Homo-oligomer: A and B are copies of this chain.
Amino acid sequence: MKHAVIMAGGSGTRFWPQSRKEMPKQFLTVTGDRSLIQSTFDRCQPDIPAKRFWVVTNAVQAEATRLQLPEIPDSHILEEPCGRNTAPCIGLAAIQLLAEDPDAVMVVMPADHVISPSAEFRKAIGHATRLIEQDPSRLVLFGVRPSYPATGFGYIEQGEPLEGEGPGTHVASFREKPDAETAQQYVDSGRFFWNCGIFVWRADTILNCLKEHEPEIHACLQTLAPQVGTDQWPQTLADEFPQMKSISIDHSVLERAENICLLEAPFGWDDVGSWHALERLHPQDVHGNTIVGRHAGVDTTGCIIRGEPNHLIASLGVKDLIIVQTKDATYVASRHDEDGIRRLIEQLRESGHDQFL
Residues of A within 8 A of B (CB): 16-17, 294, 296-299, 307, 310-318, 321, 323, 325, 328-334, 336-337, 340-341, 343-344, 347-348, 351, 353, 356
Contacts and interface: CB of A to CB of B under 8 A. Distances in A.
A330 B314 contact: yes
Given A337-B299, A351-B296, A330 B311 contact: yes
Given A312-B353, A340-B317, A298 B347 contact: yes
Contacts of A344: 296-298, 314, 316
A332 to B, nearest CB: 5
A337 B297 CA distance: 13
B298 A343 contact: yes
Contacts of A337: 299, 316-317
Nearest to A341: B316
B332 A296 contact: no
Contacts of A318: 321, 332-334
Given A296-B351, A299-B340, A323 B314 contact: no
A302 to B, nearest CB: 13
Contacts of A323: 330, 332
25 contacts: A16-B314, A296-B344, A296-B348, A296-B353, A298-B340, A298-B347, A299-B337, A299-B340, A310-B328, A311-B328, A311-B329, A311-B330, A312-B329, A312-B330, A313-B329, A313-B332, A314-B329, A314-B348, A315-B332, A316-B337, A316-B340, A316-B341, A316-B344, A318-B332, A325-B325
A330 B307 contact: yes
A316 B331 CA distance: 8
A176 to B, nearest CB: 27
Which of A17, A321, A323 has the most chain B CB atoms closer than 10 A to its own CB? A321
A330 to B, nearest CB: 5
A330 B313 contact: yes
A134 B353 CA distance: 61
A299 B317 CA distance: 20
A298 B350 CA distance: 12
Which of A316, A331, A337 has the most chain B CB atoms closer than 10 A to its own CB? A316
A340 B300 CA distance: 12
Contacts of A310: 328
Nearest to A345: B314
A187 B16 CA distance: 48
